[in-house]
Amino acid sequence: MQKSLHIDPAKCTGCLQCEMACSYENYQVFNPAKSRIKVFDFHHTGRKVPYTCTQCDEAWCLHACPVEAIKLDAATGAKVVLENVCVGCKVCTIACPFGTVNYVQDTGKVQKCDLCGGNPACAEACPTGAITYVDADWTGLEKMRQWAQKLDSQPAAGHAD
Amino acid sequence: MSWARKILRVDLTKGTCTAEPLKMDWAALFLGQRGLATKYFTAEVDPKVDPLSPANKVIYATGPLTGTMASTGGRYSVITKGPLTGAIACSNSGGYFGAELKMAGWDMIILEGRSPKPVFLHIENDHAELLDASAIWGKSTWDTEAWLKKHFQDPQMRVSGIGPAGETGCLYAAVVNDLHRAAGRSGVGTVLGSKNLKAIAVRGTKGVGNVKDPAAFMKATAAAKKVLADNAVTGQGLPKFGTQVLMNVINEIGALPTRNHRDVQFDGAKDISAEAMHAPRKTDGKPNLVTNQACFGCTIACGRISKIDESHFTVVNKPQYWGASGGLEYEAAWALGAANGVNDLEALTYANFRANEDGWDPISFGATVGAVMELYEMGVLKKEQLGIEAPFGSAQALAFFADQVGKGEGFGKEIALGSKRLTAKYGHPELSMTVKGQEFPAYDSRGIQGMGLAYATSNRGACHLRGYTVASEVLGIPVKTDPHVTEGKAGLVKAFQDATAVFDSSGLCLFTSFAWTLQDVAPQLQAACEGDWSLDNLNLVGERIWNLEKEFNLAAGLTKKDDDLPPRLKKEAAKTGPAKGLVNGLDKMLPEYYQLRGWNAEGVPTAETRKRLGTAALE
């Protein structure tokens, strides 16, 4: 079963544990500047929104790459940057409609979320469940369950007094 | 390793920025942040220095766990000699700035001298320079941050600095970072202003990648996070209600100082409580509280984000205050509310926004307004001087003064000097509810006896963050003690003071101590840092820090007379509630406290104590 990162902004507190976990997983350093997931703080509404690559099926970045440095990981569905192939041309950063593939000055390559090979560190580190890693076909399951629960608390048809 | 092992020395007089290695032999004795900065500060600054002269210094300091995945590891402290107290001042802040500074590769910034003109400090990793601040001098902390981010075209930079209050000489001006987090107390922002330093803008992209044993560190921090999550206070109470969870609790036990400490219970407490922040308003059907928010790395998330009712008199026709921003924490809600008898939650929130925006301490401000209201009711201060009728309970007067104080306008100029100077000027020094010139926070020491001793002996003046025996006396953490007795409180205060000094020197937030003891901190430090960070040594480090701060104060000229409470708390008994009939029994606790500390009857460390801790009298 493939899984997807699922984000619930209402649960995000803006602690950035996800960003540190991401940079630690990939670079062995606590460093939001190197994180592939970013938390945006919309101050005037109080809303915090974690945002990262959603692993498009028809991935713009993958198709745009002139040296075929972005490959599909068939097991996870992640689009993965092959660092030894990437030439740092940044065309993928232009092609991506969402901005989730970015250049890294230190390495001269691009980076994007690769789902940590199927065990995403951000979801593991999130203390509130704002980032979860769930069945790719059922990212809406928890929301459906919550709405179903509302119906469950109403009197059943035919049993009204 | 976890220290960046590098400090930035900024000579504002000459306009130079110089890197220096961190003195690791001092780090082994004083850990970091509060402790290590105190070591540097006391080694470099004459204790008798005028706090607002160029010879005073300001140290921004992170801890070894700042910028790591340890929960709450994002703190920094600002250390200087305080203009409100004449004692050592050390204020601690969260938000994101501290971690950013650490990730730029700096443990500390030492700011010295005085710039001939307004400047700000720009840091991008190793690069640091002073730049002209004429475009932002006079601006609010909010506008300053917006200007800097736009100027550098860098929305990811973090900013810490002063608002108008720090420029106009308000003696309790705060250092504000990330719009609504603050090193709030003792006037550390006033000292920045006296140096003509408006702000520090930092971008750090190096990160923290040098913890000693990464695997052990991840294991230790994960275990400690679980302790926070499983604890009722840090796992449920604080995220849902914030520190405001205390308002009704402290009122019920009769320890909520009300109307300048005339009373110990406030009939309007429920209107300004955490529960009130959650309740839909009658006017627009929305609650005051929008959401909670974490500081960097924090898995508790006690911060409050609030939105003011747009039809409220404080913000009507002022759309700049209609967005969500930093809401009421307990201490501010008390100082702006109960201390003045004001039960208007929206007015309190407005004053809190203004405190963040203009950069002043809402505790000292609120408590000073409480003294003004008492003087008004006594007929000593009149409407003509104040510019407004100011009886206890007036939300209009509160908002009026909150608008004035940061800019030093009208009577706000006098309120900006704090209650000690204000009450003395008008002939009633006994009405100043302060220790060492700093206003009390939100716990009445007639109802919580240990806090009287904690306040009297706090090295930075009256403060709840230097020995929070409320945890034991009210909440039963780590063990329940009777809040109405003085017996055993000397030892309790000492234990809390020493442990707090360690939390404040580590990079962690003190609020973790609702769930953690030093036993939970030690493995995290031990995995991250070289050296001996065993429980035994941490206790010694905490005591050493406390004693070094005390040595500074003694050399600055403070004496046993300054370890005292206002007469009201020692002579006027609590009128209502469970503590009815009680005064604070400081005199019964203080001699025992001095003895437990290894100080003589005058509160001076003995030669034996100095030898044991490796401290010495300062000159």
Please return the burial class of B164, using the count of CB atoms within 10 Å of its CB with bins 0-12, 13-18 and 19+.
buried
Radius of gyration of chain B (CA): 22
Phi, psi of B44 (to 5 degrees): -110, -20
Which of A15, A29, A47 is opposite residue B208, by nearest beta carbon?
A: A29
A75-128 pLDDT tens trace: 999 999 999 999 999 999 999 999 999 999 999 999 999 999 999 999 999 999
Q: Are B294 and A33 an interchain contact pair (Cβ–Cβ within 8 Å)?
A: no
Q: Distance between CA atoms of A31 and A131, rounded to whole angstroms? A: 19
Residues in chain B with pLDDT values less than 70: none
Residues of A with CB under 8 A from a CB of B: 13-17, 20-21, 23-24, 27-34, 43-48, 125, 127-128
Tokens of B533: 């960070």
Residue A154 has a pLDDT of 76
Instruction: Report the helix count and the strand count for chain A, using DSSP H and E.
Output: 5, 8
How many inter-chain contacts (A to B, CB under 8 Å) are there? 85
Tokens of B215: 């695997």
Residue A157 has a pLDDT of 57
Q: Is the pLDDT of residue A153 over 90?
A: no
User: Which residues, including other chains, have CB under 8 Å from residue B116's CB and lie 6 or more apart?
Assistant: B13, B196
Per the rule left: phi > 0, alpha: psi between -120 and 50, beta: everything else, B217 is alpha
> For B33-82, where are the E strands, in sequence order?
57-62, 76-81
- Asked if the peptide bond before residue B478 counts as cis, ω within 30 degrees of 0, the response is yes
Nearest of B351, B320, B319, B321 to residue B333 by alpha carbon: B351
Q: Are B204 and A48 an interchain contact pair (Cβ–Cβ within 8 Å)?
A: no
Q: Are B69 and A17 an interchain contact pair (Cβ–Cβ within 8 Å)?
A: yes
Nearest of B342, B305, B312 to residue B326 by alpha carbon: B305
Is residue A99 a contact partner of residue A54, using CB atoms and an 8 Å limit?
no
Q: Is the pLDDT of residue A160 over 80?
A: no
Radius of gyration of chain A (CA): 19
Minimal-distance CA residue of chain B relative to A128: B299
SS (H, E, C) B414-445: HHCCCHHHHHHHCCCHHHCCEECCEECCCCCC
Q: How far apart are the first and last CA of chain A?
A: 46
**Does residue B302 belong to the interface with chain A, where contact is any CB pair within 8 Å?**
no
The residue count of chain A comes to: 161
Neighboring chain A residues of B70 at a CB cutoff of 8 Å: none
SS3 B141: helix
> For B282-339, where are the E strands, in sequence order?
289-293, 303-306, 325-326
Q: Distance between CA atoms of B565 and B561, rounded to whole angstroms? A: 10
Is residue B290 a contact partner of residue B324, using CB atoms and an 8 Å limit?
yes
A158 pLDDT tier (thresholds 50, 70, 90): low
Task: Write the CA distances from A130 to A24, B96, B296, B478, integer angstroms.
Answer: 19, 20, 16, 32
Domains of chain B, each with CATH number or no CATH: 6-203 (3.60.9.10), 241-439 (1.10.569.10), 449-613 (1.10.599.10)
**Does residue B325 belong to the interface with chain A, where contact is any CB pair within 8 Å?**
yes
Longest Cα pair distance anywhere in chain B, in angstroms?
67
Residue A152 has a pLDDT of 84
SS3 A58: coil
What mean pLDDT is predicted for residues A139-150? 93
Residue B619 has a pLDDT of 85
Q: Distance between CA atoms of B75 and B509, rounded to whole angstroms? A: 6
B38-82 pLDDT tens trace: 999 999 999 999 999 999 999 999 999 999 999 999 999 999 999
Paired strand residues for B124: B127, B203
Phi, psi of B210 (to 5 degrees): -125, 30
Which of B69, B96, B323 is opposite residue A30, by nearest beta carbon?
A: B69
Which of B156, B205, B290 is opposite residue A46, by nearest beta carbon?
A: B290
Minimal-distance CA residue of chain A relative to B104: A31
Residue A159 has a pLDDT of 56
Per the rule left: phi > 0, alpha: psi between -120 and 50, beta: everything else, B138 is left
Tokens of B338: 């109960």
Which residue has 């059922």 as its token pair?
Answer: A138
Q: Is the pLDDT of residue A161 over 60?
A: no
Q: What pTM value is reported for the model?
A: 0.97
